[in-house]
Structure 1
Amino acid sequence: MDSEGTRDTRATRTGPVPRPTRPPEGSPPPMPTMPPGAPPRPDGSAFLAWLRAARPAAAPGVWRLGHRPRPETEPELTPARQLLSGAVIAFLVGWLVWSLLWNGYLGSWWVLPLELFTPDSWREGNDRVGNAVLWYSYYTLIALAILFVVARIGRWGEVWRRFGPPAWVRSATPAEPPPPVPGEDPADWPELRAHGAREAAERLAAEARTGLMRDVDHARIDRAWQGVRSGTNTLAAFTGAVLRDGSAACPHPSGDRDLPARQARHDLLTGQVRLGTAADDPRNPYQYRGAGLALGTDLLGTSLVAVGPAGSGKTGSLVQPLAESLCLHALAGRAAVVSVGAAGAGIGPAEAYDVVVRVGHPDSVYDLDLYGGTTDPDEAAAILAEALVGDLADPHPGSDSRRSTTVLAQLLGPFRAVHQRFPSVPELRQLLDGAPGPIAALRKALTETGHASLLRELDARERQQAHPGDVAAVLADRVALLDRPAFAAFFDTSGTSRPFTLKALDHPVRVRIDLPQRGHADASRILARLVLAQFTAAVTAREDRSLFACLLLDEAAGVVTPESVRGVQRLRSANAGVVLTLRTLDDVPRPLRGPLLGATGCRMAFSGLTPWDGQDFAEVWGKEWIETRDVTDRQIIAETPAGKAVHMLRRVITGQAPTARAVTVRQVERERWSASELAHAVPPGHAVLSLTTVRGEHAPPLLVDLRS
């Protein structure tokens, strides 16, 4: 139960952790756990406040922690100057009416109701106190009636809401949330209590209140409990692990309970990582303005493509927070993540990952499996062909690299049948070059072992090699890019190294792959296509898809091919997704730009986009019907002194010259974001982001401030 039955990955350390030895007799006492004078350890108040915080349901992409929902449409507000002027004028009019009534300038008709509905003895009796009470009560009633009418005309209620104490309370620091209802406090783990794990709930609640539990522990134990509810694990094993280890129960295979450091804001209860704030811009829907923008696995499951020039913030504002969030999800047993980028690209420290593959670096502990861990020659040939020459295939949708796959399969199958392994990079290069020695040795071994079908494959390869236009020469040239001294210790197939294979993505593993950029740009693009092809093949073949798998590919130039686009389209149903960043859409073949943007549910355009890149985004985001108002103002010229005085009063109240206004309202169809706006109207540090969840919910393109 400690590993939940689904986390038994191979060890990620070079050796076992040594056990502490017994201290010798007479040794000094152990060091104190806290330095003298240090403040006491914090209690669990911060964790409990985070756990009990409100997380209302919200639109896709909204940061739910502490979110205050807003209406979908913006209410029409009267300008403050006009509102306050109207309130004052209404008060003066009411005071004038009351003064005229009180001084008798309007006659005595307003006391007629009192005379009709009260006896004469009440009004004309000798009881001076009673008469005073009656008359002044009536005066008060009339004054209140005038005050009510004046308040409605002057909209005093709106003045009170916008400028009175209610506005002061809203602008002040929000009050503390009310205490949770007994039996519904999430810190007491009510679901565990309801299903018979009361002792485990008591232990976890005690550790939460004493500050021993953190958000990753809560998410990890909740994930283990979901395994109990689904029948993957037993209640007895879960309870025993919690009673024994407390909040450290059901650990990640690495033993880590948190990352070395965090840069972004995370909410593991909702699975979100905050990227920024939706700008208070008229182009953003009113319900999004001022709200935090966040991404979670429900959005990454539709994949994301981000385009922006160098320095626009793709890595620091997007890739790094996502890598950090997915690593936290992996520690909680919810996800598996593979981060691919250039060495030193800023996708997280090595201590935050279980496996770090530094291709071309002599100190790399792990190697990269060139064939994806498969034993099927045809599958290995398809993946390798996509990596080597996928970018040379016809970029129009529907094309593929079948000829290259066939050539590789004709060589990989016979070689594996003879040697029980796939060829190394130098051996594969010799076979593709048609070197007589290796081909003859392979033929001899096949003849001796009686593999007639594989011998026919080899014969077909030799016949095709003599024809002009054979793709083996192109494959050999691409393999030669990997057959360099810098990669001599990599891509080993003899079993002496520690190759990492993406077949391990059915476990919550954290992987970082550093690609060699300096001097090996072409090899890096081949390896990036290789990782993407292996990822799409591995995650779609998983039997257990409860873990979310994500590939973060920083700088995906030369990676998008017809086959990779088809692979991305299959990821949503496999509970997986990819995040691709590009400096420009010119790095993608023109026929594939539309299919790529259509295959990804989330699209992000950073500041500094070119107009032709903005045109592609504008087309995929489409148009919407909006209401436009054409206002024509005609100034009114007063000819009399009284008219001029009235116009002067209107100018003082409204701040505008008196005009006669003609308004024409029309419904027109316009682009949500035009190419010109994307190229010139997105401020630095901002991006335009559209979202789609795996359930099909959409968020329109939003202008997001990535610095807040």
Structure 2
Amino acid sequence: MAWFVFIYGRGFALSGLGMLGLGDLPTTPTILLALLVNLLVIALVIRIFGRMGRWREVGRRFLLPLVSRTVTEVPPEPEAAPVVDVWAELRPAGEAVRRLEAEPVGDVDYVRLHQAWRSVGADPAGRHEFAAQVGSRGAAACAHPSEQRDLPGGRAARHDLMVRQVRLGTAQDVPKNPVTHRNAGFALDPALLGTSLLAVGPAGTGKTAALARPVAEALCLQALAGAACAVVVGASDADLGPDDWYDVVIAPGDPSAPYGLDLYGAAPSPDEAAARLADALLPDELAPRAESARTAMQQVVGPFRAAYGRYPGVRELRALLAGDADGWAELAENLQKSGRRPEFEADVQQRERMHGRVDDPGALLADRLALLDRPALAPGFSGGPDAKPAFAMRALEHPLRVRVKLPERSHPEAARMLSRLLLGQFTQAAADRGDRELFAGLVLDDATAAVDAQTIRGIQRLRGANAGVVLLLRTLSDLPEALRAPLFGAVGNRMAFPGIAPWDGRLFSEAWGTHLVRETAVTHTPDTSGGTMRRAGRMVRKALSGTTAQTESVTTRDVERHRWSPSDLAHALPSGHAVISLTSVTGEQVPPLLVDLRH
């Protein structure tokens, strides 16, 4: 290149000098030779640098198509957007569907109508009834029994009812999140809730506002669409949506509450109902006496139902467990009249022998029932002339929306017993449903006192029953140590909120496992290589500069590290965020992600 500049510059200088004296002008062969040399140099430069920069391929891929389109190509006319028939699935219902095209239809109406059409299947009578309702009521056909077509007061979360998802946040663009999931939206649907979800975080970190309320809102919307049933349990002052969201509101201790709670869950088997009630009455510290307590409860509930044709109320059950002589005499008389005295004779005699003994579990159960047999609480449970209409957990085959307000402030121990009872009844009733078309979801705002060994086994059975629970805990330390690891294994989705304790973070860290991380180690050692002259040079250099010559070695290796360490979970999570891992009912898994729950 320097040669080219020199020759060309010289030629130009010769031309300029020729202007001063015509005798000094270069001859024509000289000019032609200079131009030839310049062309050769230019060609050589183009070939070398064009080959290095792949100019030929750039021209072929970009310049030639651009020139071709500019010269010969006529811009194509825009294609018409395809027309999508949103009511194609309902067309077999006949001309009645045309009415839906002429009126506004919300997402709840759209999903509900399609859900109703799928439920009738190929039944001609069902199809005829569906067509008649659509023809007469339009988008309001097949409405929920409440006649609501959306939640009163509007929605706070973002929902996509077509795929039954509720959006909760956005996965953050941070190194700990996999590249494929960064900046992706985070949402929950029945396929994920079917493996149940455990969320742990201190009070004030947003568990209720960012998780429990949006999930409750989503389940209520899906219930209006005929695709789910929802049971939402929490304190009376917990922000889990207004009462207008729900069909059944149960508030023990509130005289204005319209519904009560069936303590037996309308269980078809007295032994099953008695066992679940006994488990709910006993606190964790009395768990070793659970088996004898179940037997004592069954020895009372079974004969009572055989004698009276119903389950005992709270006051009746308490009196019989305490050994009330008049109550047992009346029970024995009614058993005799019903002709079932021989069937339950052994149970009656066993109970009579245990009355008054120090180790009688019936006395313990009677003392625990006294917490529910309060004037403010008793009308809210089945039994007695003043009892309210009772909700039974066996109604999960219908698209109901149920809100249970626990009296945590006025009767804290009774609230803990009721939370255990509700969770136990839900796991039993959801798994025993004959029709599992509806997704059954339970949201428990504070599950501290509700988890025991029986409910953990029940949660594991929900995966195949189209049902799931959302459990919120302030800390895992409130649970017996023997239940913490089984609870983590029973749920498929886990959430850690900011501020959890390091010992809680350890369980999350162990559950999420490890992954390979590439680490690079740089080692510096004094340079001792070479002969005498080289060593002498290094000595002179050290004397002049004061530094020792060193060699550098770089080692790269793959090591296992926790995806999220207990310290990271306890101290590094920003406010408004959570680390979440997901598992669907089909076994698909998403590794733990840092999610911003504010977007």
**Common topology (TM > 0.5):** yes
User: Structure 1 residues 633 and 315, CA, compared in 2 at 3 Å: closer, same or farther?
Assistant: farther
Of 276, 279, 282, the residue aligned with 1:389 is: 282
Shift of 1:228: 3.9
* Equivalent-residue separation in structure 2 for 1:527 and 1:257 (angstroms): 32
Among residues 590, 605, 611, which one is paired with 2:481 in the alignment? Answer: 590
Q: Secondary structure at the match of 2:380?
A: coil
Match of 2:518 among 615, 627, 649: 627
Shift in Å, 1:281: 1.1
Pair 1:521-2:412 in alignment = yes
CA distance in 2, matches of 1:544, 1:257: 24
Partner of 1:471: 361
2:262 corresponds to: 369
Where 1:486 maps in the other structure, the secondary structure is: coil
Q: 2:100 aligns with which of 196, 199, 204?
A: 204
Q: Equivalent residue for 1:188?
A: 86
Separation in structure 1 between the aligned mates of residue 361 and residue 351 of structure 2, nearest angstrom? 11
1:506-585 equivalences under 5 Å are 506-585=397-476
Aligned 1:409-448 pairs, distance under 5 A: 409-448=298-337
Q: 1:21-42: per-residue Cα shift (whole Å, max 9, x none)?
A: xxxxxxxxxxxxxxxxxxxxxx
Offset at residue 139 of structure 1 (A): 9.7
- TM-aligned CA distance change 1:460 to 1:181, over 3 Å: same
* Partner SS for 2:174: coil
Q: How many residues align?
A: 531
For 2:584, the equivalent position in structure 1 comes to: 693
Amino acid of the structure 2 residue aligned with 1:461: R
Tell me which amino acid in the other structure corresponds to 2:350.
A
Matched AA of 2:175: P
The corresponding residue for 1:639 is: none
With over 3 angstroms needed to count, the CA separation of the structure-2 counterparts of 1:420 and 1:678, relative to structure 1, is same
TM superposition shift of 1:301: 0.2
Contact 1:390 1:401 in 2 (8 A): no
> Paired residue for 1:292?
185
Q: Which residue of 2 aligns with 1:83?
A: none
Shift of 1:633: 8.5
Rounded to whole Å, the distance in 2 between the matches of 1:686 and 1:215 is 30
- What is residue 499 of structure 1 aligned with on the other side? 390
Task: Describe the SS at the equivalent of 1:379.
Answer: helix
Pair 1:335 & 2:225 matched:
no
What is the aligned partner in structure 1 of residue 378 from structure 2? 488
TM-score (ref. length: structure 1): 0.70
Secondary structure of 2:371 counterpart: helix
Find the partner of 1:704 among 585, 590, 595.
595
Q: Mark the CA change 1:192 to 1:415 in structure 2 (over 3 Å): closer, same or farther.
A: closer
Alpha carbons of 1:148 and 1:494: their partners in 2 closer, same or farther (altered >3 Å)?
farther
What's the CA shift for 1:216?
A: 1.0
- The residue type equivalent to 1:213 in the other structure is V
Residue-by-residue CA offset, 1:79-126 (whole Å, 9 max, x unaligned): xxxxxxxxxxxxxxxxxx5x86576589xxxxxxxxxxxxxxxxxxxx
Distance in 2, matches of 1:231 and 1:280, equals 51
Measured at CA, do residues 362 and 631 of structure 1 come closer, stay the same or move farther in structure 2, by a change above 3 Å?
same
Find the counterpart in structure 2 of residue 404 from structure 1: 293
AA matched with 1:419: Y
What's the TM-score, normalizing by structure 2?
Answer: 0.82
Distance 1:288 1:701 in 2: 10
- CA change 1:617–1:178 in 2 (3 A) is farther
After superposition, the Cα gap between the structure-2 partners of 1:479 and 1:232, relative to the gap in structure 1 and judged at 3 Å, is farther
Q: Retained in 1: the 8 A contact 2:260–2:382?
A: yes
What SS class does the counterpart of residue 360 from structure 1 fall into? coil
- Offset, 1:146: 5.8
Aligned partner letter, 1:291: A
Deviation at 1:235, TM superposition (A): 3.3
DSSP-derived class of the 1:485 partner: coil
Q: 2:569 aligns with which of 659, 664, 678?
A: 678
For 2:392, give the aligned amino acid: T
Structure-2 change in CA distance of 1:438 and 1:284 (3 Å):
same
Alpha-carbon separation, structure 1, partners of 2:48 and 2:137: 73
- Cα distance in structure 1, aligned partners of 2:289 and 2:561: 37
How far did residue 455 of structure 1 move? 2.7
Please give the alpha-carbon distance, in whole angstroms, between the structure 1 residues aligned to 2:42 and 2:261.
90
Paired with 1:550 and 1:468, the residues of 2 have a C-alpha distance of 42
Q: Secondary structure at the match of 1:258?
A: coil
Residues 420 and 100 of structure 1: is their aligned pair in 2 closer, same or farther, counting only changes over 3 Å?
farther
Q: Contact conserved, 1:557 with 1:587, CA < 8 A, in 2?
A: yes
Q: Where does residue 62 of structure 1 map in the other structure? A: none
268-277 or 455-464, which deviates more: 455-464
Mapped to 2, the partners of 1:270 and 1:136 lie a distance apart of 70
Q: CA deviation at 1:192?
A: 3.7
Return the alpha-carbon distance in structure 1 between the equivalents of residues 82 and 49 of structure 2: 44
Opposite residue 625 of structure 1, the aligned amino acid is L
Q: Which has the larger radius of gyration?
A: 2
Q: 1:191 to 1:634 in 2, by over 3 A?
A: farther
CA distance in 1, matches of 2:275, 2:123: 37
Per the alignment, residue 235 of structure 1 pairs with 127
Q: Matches of 2:526 and 2:328 in 1, distance apart?
A: 93
Q: What fraction of aligned residue pairs are identical, expressed as a percent?
A: 49
- Give 2:301's aligned amino acid: L
Q: Summarize the Cα distance change of 1:682–1:439 in structure 2 as closer, same or farther, 3 Å threshold.
A: same
Alpha-carbon distance change, 501 to 143 in structure 1, aligned in 2, over 3 angstroms: farther
CA contact (8 A) 2:421 2:450 kept: no
Which deviates more from structure 2 when the two are superposed, residues 554-563 or residues 430-439?
A: 430-439
1:2-53 CA deviation, whole Å, 9 max, x = no partner?
xxxxxxxxxxxxxxxxxxxxxxxxxxxxxxxxxxxxxxxxxxxxxxxxxxxx
SS, match of residue 370 in structure 2: helix
Q: Which residue number corresponds to residue 278 of structure 1?
A: 171
Name whichever of 477-486 and 301-310 sits farther off.
477-486
- How far off is 1:244 after superposition? 2.8
Deviations 1:338-373 (A, max 9, x none): 000001200011111111111110001111111112
2:109 matched residue in structure 1: 217
Amino acid at match of 1:479: L
Alpha carbon RMSD of aligned pairs, Å?
3.3
Structure 2 counterpart of 1:235, one-letter code: R
Q: Which runs of 5+ in 1 are unaligned?
A: 1-96, 107-131, 161-176, 637-658
CA distance in 1, matches of 2:350, 2:592: 54
For 2:412 and 2:232, locate their aligned partners in 1 and report how far apart those are by CA, in whole Å: 18
Q: Using a 3 Å threshold, how does the CA distance of structure 1 residues 672 and 231 change in structure 2: closer, same or farther?
A: farther
Q: What per-residue deviation string (whole Å, max 9, x for no partner) do you get for residues 176-207 of structure 1? A: x997523xx2x5333344xx346355443443
Please say if residues 577 and 597 of structure 2, whose CA atoms lie closer than 8 Å, have aligned partners that are also in contact.
yes
Pair 1:458 & 2:356 matched: no
Q: 1:418 offset after TM fit, Å?
A: 2.3
* Contact 1:447/1:455 (<8 A) preserved: no
| Alignment partner of 1:305 out of 183, 186, 198 | 198
Note if contact 2:170-2:596 (Cα within 8 Å) is conserved in structure 1: yes
1:394-444 deviation per Cα after TM superposition (whole angstroms, max 9, x unaligned): 4xxxx8933222111111122222222222111111111112221222223
Whole-angstrom CA distance in 2 between matches of 1:264 and 1:146: 62
Q: How many angstroms apart in 2 are the aligned matches of 1:248 and 1:136?
A: 86
